[in-house]
Every structure is written in C-alpha cells, then in structure tokens.
C-alpha cells in the first residue's frame, strides 16, 4: 500500500476510533466501511477490523471501569454465550447481504429514536437471566459473522429497554465488544490461518483516537451528549451495512 494512502487510511481510522470510543464502542463497523471504500479484500478486512476492535475496546473498557461505570452483574449474562457464539461466527463464512440490510435498517431506526426522542434516564431494571443469555448469544454470533464486536447492537438495546443507565451501558458494551472480538478473531484465524500485515500500522492511529475518545466519553460527556453521538455512530454503521 502506498505511504500516502496508508496515511489517509490511518487518519480516517483515528477519527472513527475517537467517535466510537466516546460511546463505549470500538469502531469495527466504521473500520469495515472505510476499508471497503479503500477497496481492500473482504478476506483481509474482517480480521483487521477485529484486531483494531480489540485495541480500542481494551482502552474503552479500562477507561469506563476506572470512571466507575462498569457493572459485572449486568455484563456476565450477556457475555456467557456470546463468546462461543462469536467464535463460531468468526469461523463461518456465510453470505449475509440481505441480513446486513435488515440490520442496517434497524440501526437507522434506532438512531432516529435517539435523535428525535431520546430516552430519559429512569431507574434501570436488569434483564431477566434468560433474556440476557439469549441476547448475548445472538449478538455474539452476529459479531463473529460480521467482524464486529456486537456492541453497536447491545448499547441501544440496553438503553431502550432501561436495563442500565447510559454510561453503564457504554461500559458493559466496551468489555462485551472486547471478549467477542477476541473470540471472533480466534475463530477467523482458525479457519483461514491468515492475518493482513497492513493492520499493524493502523493500530497506532486507533490507539490514539480510542484513548482520547474513551476518556472524553467516560469523564466529560453528559448522557444526552453520549446519546447524540451514539445516534451518529448508529447512522454510520447502518449506512455501511446497507450499502457495502
């Protein structure tokens, strides 16, 4: 890859990492969209996005945990079945075009809900154990299939269902993304035995952007601002899923 092209790609990744990390996400859907625009091979995009996801999600999970927003009690039922399902999704290579369009529409509708009717911060009620396990399994499989961490779906669901406050939802999603991305990458590498070398130069850019975004999101942004940023992230991800 030419140096000028790599520099431009790195800058785009930095911006995406900042935006996504500010709402507890790692940016895989954004990374995939940009790499697709740069005409990179699909077989290389998925593992590269997962590695960048792991780096940014690690930073985000740490920052939100340090700020006191993480809830282990809320996290583990989502993660228990998500991890093996993410491994399975990473191992499989299925045609998902129609499914991605439907999911993209759901994300755009969720974004509209946050922009025009933002949920109020009420007293949260934790989901039932079967509901959390089922949601985690479904999102884990989806995360592995699409090369994302699943947080882009978990955060709006947790907020809309009033299962947690906004920053707690972001904190739980950050670690959810991390464990799913690790499992998805392991499954993908088990199937392909291949990893794209161009991903490593992008790592520095997402670490810088992710660290800045996670710090701002966990300590500086009000819940209303996080919801607006989350809406922007959902629009980016939805458009990407529909048109790529």
Distance of alpha carbon 55 from alpha carbon 59, whole angstroms = 7
Would you write out the chain's pLDDT as a tens digit for each of its 244 residues?
677 888 899 998 998 898 888 877 888 877 887 887 787 877 788 888 889 999 999 998 998 899 899 999 999 999 999 999 989 988 876 665 766 676 677 678 767 766 765 555 568 888 999 999 999 999 998 888 777 788 878 988 898 889 998 889 989 999 999 999 999 889 888 888 888 888 888 999 999 999 998 888 888 777 677 767 777 877 877 787 777 6
The upper half-sphere exposure of residue 69, i.e. CA atoms within 13 Å in the direction of its Cβ, equals 26
Domain boundaries, the chain: 3-243
Nearest in space to 159 (alpha carbons), one of 29, 24, 53: 24
Backbone angles phi, psi at 218, to 5 degrees: -80, -20
């Amino acid at each position: 890859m030419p140096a000028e092209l790599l520099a431009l790609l790195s800058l785009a990744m930095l911006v995406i990492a900042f935006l996504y990390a500010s709402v507890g996400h790692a940016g895989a859907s954004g990374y995939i969209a940009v790499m697709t625009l740069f005409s990179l091979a699909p077989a290389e995009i998925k593992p590269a996005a997962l590695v960048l996801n792991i780096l940014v999600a690690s930073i985000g999970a740490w920052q939100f945990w340090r700020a006191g927003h993480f809830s282990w009690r809320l996290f583990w039922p989502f993660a228990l079945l998500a991890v093996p399902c993410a491994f399975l999704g990473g191992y499989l290579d299925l045609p998902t075009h129609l499914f991605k369009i439907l999911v993209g529409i759901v994300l755009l509708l969720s974004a509209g809900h946050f922009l025009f009717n933002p949920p109020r911060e009420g007293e949260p009620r934790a989901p039932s154990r079967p509901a959390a396990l089922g949601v985690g399994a479904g999102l884990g499989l989806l995360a592995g299939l699409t090369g994302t961490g699943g947080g882009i779906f978990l955060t709006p669901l947790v907020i809309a269902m009033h299962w947690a406050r906004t920053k707690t939802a972001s904190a739980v999603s950050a670690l959810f993304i991390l464990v799913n991305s690790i499992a998805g990458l392991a499954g993908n590498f088990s199937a392909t035995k291949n990893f794209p070398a161009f991903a490593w130069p992008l790592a520095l850019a997402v670490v810088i952007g992710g660290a800045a975004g996670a710090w701002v999101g966990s300590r500086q942004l009000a819940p209303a601002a996080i919801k607006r940023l989350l809406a922007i992230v959902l629009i980016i991800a939805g458009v990407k899923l529909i048109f790529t």
